[in-house]
A and B are shown apart, each in its own frame.
Chain A
């Protein structure tokens, strides 16, 4: 436990010392918030068909909180782990009896740290600029946030475990991230997408994770169906990570 805590704290400091990752993780969702908020404002669709009948910025805010989580997990984490393996850092950790649980656990803790900071940042900006509504059911938003962060961290660890090199992790991570961003509910509303685009979005975990956070945020209650899907993604990723993880 002591080592897990120390390792997580060191990893948080390392994240803060890496300005490019910081900017990408925190600034990109904020930029999207400004672009979407600037284009669509926060007036609900009068017919109530698009954006689930709520204001666009209200709709997008939980989506961008999940996008921050997705960005750390799919872009940041796999590159981090593959670089650790390539450079012999994992080898060094392992030789000193640092366990796989400490390595994975520290990454989950770092993900939480970044997700919480990113979530607060987005919410504060949205509140100041767009006069959004805060979460309707915070008691359900918080567990949804926790599940999403753990499930995505597991997926990121899985990518880091199976992708052979840092370059591969960069390429695969960025492609997955942008496809999910555009088609998975953080870009144009699902209602305006073609059937094929909807289908691609539907097989991506981001789409379901966004609904899992959006539903209690907007007052639609707890969505057990998407909770099942997000959990399944997380559990499968965790099992495969343990199976395929290589120290060197």
Chain B
């Protein structure tokens, strides 16, 4: 079986609020599949329906061949969940939590190894309430993995982690996949999705507005590149007439030229022709952030 998740026309409302309007997608075995979107877009509701934590109003869902509506317990045993908004008892110790959750897996689970991998060994005798935000987050990810799941849901996993810990977490997620598990990554960090995900679904207002590999999304939706250089020349009126150039923005000595296609070569040639040879001429590729902005009208940092 190569499809681990199949969702067709998923819909979920809370009273008058439509959280998920109409979502369909499929995830293949071994993928790192990203779900990206602004806050309130319906990302978490979608994955909660997949994890049998919420009942969808309508739509068809199969996860590992199981129906979350009727086979919830069997499903939960085979998946790993790192949830937003969950907690452990204040006075439970790190090792106790891992030992408890490991007891749910039918086979042997090496929670000691997991504890070391996720940098919790030093903290094994600390109570949950004494852990920092980042440590709690790592413990939750470790708990999500402790039953050797075939499919792992990570919802805003790196929120609260410092940049170094995030890099470590990324490496560990790649390791999860190398061990054969499929990963669903809900995130609002563009760089995370761009670095980790094989495919990304961009969700907005309860619908998927785009679904492709990060590079595919960029090629399709963000065709503009930026050529950047510095010069002390005040007026460059000829620059806007260079083929493929769409816009020239001047920020002090720094000039940003927006355009598409072979704009870098054309701009460079034109600069040399006019006797300008900037040593800092470079091109900025569009990123997932630009795709996101274009599709949702919001930047990833914006709340709402």
Report which A residues bind B (CB closer than 8 A): 2-3, 6-7, 10, 13-14, 17-18, 84, 87-89, 91-92, 94-99
Measured between beta carbons, the chain A residues less than 8 angstroms from B85 are: 88, 91
Q: Which of A89, A91, A95 has the most CB of B within 10 A?
A: A95
Measured between beta carbons, the chain A residues less than 8 angstroms from B143 are: 92, 96
A14 and B92: CB pair below 8 A? yes
Measured between beta carbons, the chain A residues less than 8 angstroms from B73 are: 97, 99
Given contacts A3-B100, A97-B76, contact A92 B92 (CB under 8 A): no
Q: Which residue of B lies closest to A88 (CB)?
A: B86
B83 and A91: CB pair below 8 A? yes
B87 and A88: CB pair below 8 A? yes
* B236 on the A face (CB < 8 A): no
B76 and A95: CB pair below 8 A? yes
Least CB distance from B173 to A in Å reads 19
Q: Count of chain B residues with Cβ under 8 Å from any Cβ of A?
A: 23
Given contacts A10-B100, A17-B91, 11 further A-B contacts (CB under 8 A): A6-B100, A13-B91, A87-B87, A88-B83, A89-B88, A92-B86, A92-B143, A96-B76, A96-B101, A96-B104, A96-B147
Q: Which residue of B lies closest to A2 (CB)?
A: B103
Measured between beta carbons, the chain A residues less than 8 angstroms from B76 are: 94-97
Given contacts A97-B73, A97-B76, contact A92 B88 (CB under 8 A): yes
Q: Which residue of A lies closest to B85 (CB)?
A: A88
| Per-position binary interface string of chain B over residues 28-60, scored 1 when its CB falls under 8 Å from any chain A CB and 0 otherwise | 000000000000000000000001010000000
Query: 8 closest A-B pairs (Cβ-Cβ)?
Result: A97-B76, A92-B86, A88-B86, A95-B81, A17-B91, A87-B87, A97-B77, A6-B103
Q: How far is the CA of A92 from the CA of B100 in the complex (A)?
A: 12
Least CB distance from B159 to A in Å reads 15
Least CB distance from A155 to B in Å reads 22
Measured between beta carbons, the chain A residues less than 8 angstroms from B99 are: 6
Report which B residues bind A (CB closer than 8 A): 51, 53, 73, 76-77, 81, 83, 85-89, 91-92, 96, 99-101, 103-104, 127, 143, 147
Q: How far is the CA of A148 from the CA of B171 in the complex (A)?
A: 54
Indicate which residue in A89, A91, A98 contacts B89 across the interface (CB closer than 8 Å). Answer: A89
A7 and B51: CB pair below 8 A? no
Q: How far is the CA of A17 from the CA of B125 in the complex (A)?
A: 14
B96 and A13: CB pair below 8 A? yes
Measured between beta carbons, the chain B residues less than 8 angstroms from A17 are: 91, 127
Q: How far is the CA of A116 from the CA of B127 in the complex (A)?
A: 27
A14 and B83: CB pair below 8 A? no
Q: Which residue of A lies closest to B101 (CB)?
A: A96
B96 and A10: CB pair below 8 A? yes
Given contacts A92-B83, A95-B76, A96-B143, contact A14 B91 (CB under 8 A): yes
Q: Which residue of A lies closest to B140 (CB)?
A: A92
Indicate which residue in B83, B92, B100 contacts A95 across the interface (CB closer than 8 Å). Answer: B83
Q: Which residue of A lies closest to B96 (CB)?
A: A10
Q: How far is the CA of A78 from the CA of B81 in the complex (A)?
A: 27
Given contacts A10-B92, A14-B91, A89-B87, contact A95 B103 (CB under 8 A): no
Measured between beta carbons, the chain B residues less than 8 angstroms from A6 are: 99-100, 103
Q: How far is the CA of A17 from the CA of B90 in the complex (A)?
A: 10
Measured between beta carbons, the chain A residues less than 8 angstroms from B88 are: 89, 92
Q: How far is the CA of A14 from the CA of B91 in the complex (A)?
A: 6
Measured between beta carbons, the chain B residues less than 8 angstroms from A99 are: 73
Q: How far is the CA of A59 from the CA of B288 in the complex (A)?
A: 76
Measured between beta carbons, the chain A residues less than 8 angstroms from B147 are: 96
Q: Which residue of B lies closest to A92 (CB)?
A: B86
Q: How far is the CA of A14 from the CA of B77 in the complex (A)?
A: 25
Q: How far is the CA of A97 from the CA of B106 in the complex (A)?
A: 12
Q: How far is the CA of A84 from the CA of B89 in the complex (A)?
A: 7
Q: How far is the CA of A94 from the CA of B77 in the complex (A)?
A: 10
Least CB distance from A18 to B in Å reads 7
